[in-house]
Structure 1
Amino acid sequence: MCGILGFIGHQNVMPEMLSSLSQIQDTDFNSVAVAITTPSGIRILKHGDDLALLGDQIVESSLTGVSGIGHGRWDMEKHTESFATTAGINADVTLVQHGSIDNLCSLQFWLETEGITFSDTPSIEILPQLISLFLRRGYDPEQALNRAVERAYGTFSVAVMFRSDPSHLYAAQRGCPLVLGIGRQSSGLSSDERALGDQFNRILYLKDGDQVRISTDRLSIREKSGRKVRRHIQERIQSTRLHNQTNQVFYHREIHEQPEAISRTLNATQRQLQTLPLSLFDAERLTIIASGSSYHAALIAKSWFETYAALPVDALIASEFRYSPPLLKPNGVTIILSQSGETSDTLQSLRFAREQKQHVLAVVNTQNSSISHEADYSITTQAGPELCTVATKAFCCQLAALANLVIKASLQRQLLELSAATRLHQLLFTLPAMLEQVIADETHYQRIGQQLAAYSHLILTGYGCSHPLALEGALKFKEICHLHAEGIATGELKHGAISLLETNMPIMALASQDERTLKTLTDTLSVCAPEIKPILLADKVSLDAVKQSHVEKIELPDIPSLISPILHAAALQLIAYHTARAKSADMDLPLNLAKPVTEYE
Structure 2
Amino acid sequence: MCGIVAYTGYRQAYPILIKGLKRLEYRGYDSTGIALLNEQSLNVYKKKGKVSDLEDFLADINVNGTIGIGHTRWATHGEPNDVNAHPHYSFSKNLAMIHNGIIENYSSLKQELINHGHEFQSQTDSEVFIHFIEHVQEKVNCSLEEAIRLALKEIVGAYAIVIMSKDHPNTLFAARKGSPLVIGVGEKEYFLASDATPIVEYTNDVVYLDDYEIAVLSRDSLTIKTIEDESIAPYIHTLEMELESIEKGGYEHFMLKEIFEQPRSVHDSMRGRVNSATGHLLLGGLREYLNKMIHARRIIIIGCGTSWHAGLVAEYIFEEFARVPVEVEYASEFRYRNPIINEGDVVIAISQSGETADTLAAIELAKSKGAIIFGVCNVVGSSIPRATHAGAYTHAGPEIGVASTKAFTAQVVVLTMMGIILAKAKGTISETDYRKLLVELETIPEKIEKILSNHKQIEYISDLFKEARNFLFLGRGYNFPVALEGALKLKEISYIHAEGYPAAEMKHGPIALIDEEMPVVFIATKDSSYEKIVSNIQEVRARKGRVIAVVTENDKLISQMAEFIIEIPHTHEALMPLLSVIPLQLLSYYIAVMRGCNVDQPRNLAKSVTVE
- When structure 1 is superposed on structure 2, of 230-239 and 113-122 the one drifting more is 113-122
Cα distance 1:82–1:470, how it changes in 2: closer, same or farther (>3 A)? farther
> Which secondary structure does the structure 1 equivalent of 2:91 belong to?
coil
Instruction: Report the RMSD for the aligned CA atoms in angstroms.
Output: 2.6
Letter of the 1:180 partner, please give it.
I
Matched-pair contact (CA < 8 Å) for 2:476–2:502: yes
TM-fit CA distance, 1:409: 1.3
Corresponding residue of 1:213: 216
Corresponding residue of 1:253: 257
Deviations 1:109-166 (A, max 9, x none): 3333444343452533211121122112123212211222222212221111233333
Aligned ranges 1:575-594 → 2 under 5 Å: 575-594=587-606
> Which secondary structure does the structure 1 equivalent of 2:546 belong to?
coil
What is the CA–CA distance in structure 2 between the aligned matches of 1:104 and 1:214, rounded to whole Å? 27
Q: 1:499 aligns with which of 498, 506, 512?
A: 512
> Which secondary structure does the structure 1 equivalent of 2:474 belong to?
strand
- When structure 1 is superposed on structure 2, of 80-89 and 494-503 the one drifting more is 80-89
Corresponding residue of 1:130: 132
The reply to whether residue 2 of structure 1 matches residue 2 of structure 2 is: yes
What is the CA–CA distance in structure 2 between the aligned matches of 1:230 and 1:297, rounded to whole Å? 38
What is the CA–CA distance in structure 2 between the aligned matches of 1:525 and 1:155, rounded to whole Å? 52
> Which secondary structure does the structure 2 equivalent of 1:475 belong to?
helix
What is the CA–CA distance in structure 1 between the aligned matches of 2:302 and 2:384, rounded to whole Å? 12
Matched-pair contact (CA < 8 Å) for 2:32–2:85: no
Aligned ranges 1:147-546 → 2 under 5 Å: 147-241=150-244, 242-244=246-248, 246=250, 248-270=252-274, 273-277=283-287, 278-279=290-291, 280-528=293-541, 530-539=543-552, 543-546=555-558
Cα distance 1:236–1:382, how it changes in 2: closer, same or farther (>3 A)? closer
What is the CA–CA distance in structure 2 between the aligned matches of 1:512 and 1:282, rounded to whole Å? 35
TM-fit CA distance, 1:175: 0.6
Letter of the 2:134 partner, please give it.
S
Deviations 1:220-240 (A, max 9, x none): 222232322224222333521
What is the CA–CA distance in structure 1 between the aligned matches of 2:560 and 2:199, rounded to whole Å? 57
Cα distance 1:546–1:236, how it changes in 2: closer, same or farther (>3 A)? closer
Letter of the 2:584 partner, please give it.
L
Corresponding residue of 1:143: 146
Cα distance 1:256–1:247, how it changes in 2: closer, same or farther (>3 A)? closer
Structure 2: any 5+ residue segments left out of the alignment? 275-280
> Which secondary structure does the structure 1 equivalent of 2:81 belong to?
coil
Matched-pair contact (CA < 8 Å) for 2:14–2:64: yes
Cα distance 1:16–1:537, how it changes in 2: closer, same or farther (>3 A)? closer
Cα distance 1:451–1:110, how it changes in 2: closer, same or farther (>3 A)? same
Deviations 1:544-583 (A, max 9, x none): 3459645433333333321111110012112223323433
Matched-pair contact (CA < 8 Å) for 1:3–1:597: no
> Which secondary structure does the structure 1 equivalent of 2:472 belong to?
strand
Matched-pair contact (CA < 8 Å) for 1:453–1:582: yes
> Which secondary structure does the structure 1 equivalent of 2:508 belong to?
coil
What number of residue pairs does the alignment pair up?
A: 599
Matched-pair contact (CA < 8 Å) for 1:269–1:381: no
The reply to whether residue 559 of structure 1 matches residue 571 of structure 2 is: yes
What is the CA–CA distance in structure 2 between the aligned matches of 1:86 and 1:521, rounded to whole Å? 57
Letter of the 2:100 partner, please give it.
H
Q: 1:107 aligns with which of 102, 109, 112?
A: 109
Letter of the 1:72 partner, please give it.
T
What is the CA–CA distance in structure 2 between the aligned matches of 1:357 and 1:232, rounded to whole Å? 29
Structure 1: any 5+ residue segments left out of the alignment? none
Corresponding residue of 2:82: 81
What is the CA–CA distance in structure 2 between the aligned matches of 1:100 and 1:18, rounded to whole Å? 24
> Which secondary structure does the structure 1 equivalent of 2:467 belong to?
coil
Deviations 1:365-399 (A, max 9, x none): 22232222332223122322223222111211111
Cα distance 1:218–1:331, how it changes in 2: closer, same or farther (>3 A)? farther
Corresponding residue of 2:277: none
What is the CA–CA distance in structure 2 between the aligned matches of 1:425 and 1:28, rounded to whole Å? 40
What is the CA–CA distance in structure 1 between the aligned matches of 2:82 and 2:103, rounded to whole Å? 20
What is the CA–CA distance in structure 1 between the aligned matches of 2:53 and 2:539, rounded to whole Å? 57
- When structure 1 is superposed on structure 2, of 329-338 and 11-20 the one drifting more is 11-20
Deviations 1:577-599 (A, max 9, x none): 33234334332332333325544
What is the CA–CA distance in structure 1 between the aligned matches of 2:405 and 2:251, rounded to whole Å? 19
- When structure 1 is superposed on structure 2, of 562-571 and 139-148 the one drifting more is 139-148
Cα distance 1:133–1:508, how it changes in 2: closer, same or farther (>3 A)? same
Aligned ranges 1:45-84 → 2 under 5 Å: 45-52=45-52, 54-55=54-55, 58=58, 60-75=60-75, 79-81=80-82, 84=85
Deviations 1:512-570 (A, max 9, x none): 544322212312432456332222223358x5345964543333333332111111001
What is the CA–CA distance in structure 2 between the aligned matches of 1:268 and 1:561, rounded to whole Å? 24
Deviations 1:14-61 (A, max 9, x none): 332222222223457232211122223311122333534544655633
- When structure 1 is superposed on structure 2, of 252-261 and 236-245 the one drifting more is 236-245
TM-score by length of 2: 0.91
Corresponding residue of 2:585: 573
What is the CA–CA distance in structure 1 between the aligned matches of 2:349 and 2:97, rounded to whole Å? 32
Cα distance 1:111–1:512, how it changes in 2: closer, same or farther (>3 A)? farther
Letter of the 1:293 partner, please give it.
T
TM-fit CA distance, 1:493: 1.7
Cα distance 1:545–1:353, how it changes in 2: closer, same or farther (>3 A)? same
Matched-pair contact (CA < 8 Å) for 1:30–1:78: no
Matched-pair contact (CA < 8 Å) for 1:512–1:565: no
Matched-pair contact (CA < 8 Å) for 1:178–1:190: yes
What is the CA–CA distance in structure 2 between the aligned matches of 1:4 and 1:275, rounded to whole Å? 31
Cα distance 1:11–1:558, how it changes in 2: closer, same or farther (>3 A)? closer
TM-fit CA distance, 1:183: 0.9
What is the CA–CA distance in structure 2 between the aligned matches of 1:316 and 1:25, rounded to whole Å? 30
- When structure 1 is superposed on structure 2, of 180-189 and 488-497 the one drifting more is 488-497
> Which secondary structure does the structure 2 equivalent of 1:432 belong to?
helix
What is the CA–CA distance in structure 1 between the aligned matches of 2:439 and 2:96, rounded to whole Å? 58
Matched-pair contact (CA < 8 Å) for 2:285–2:391: no
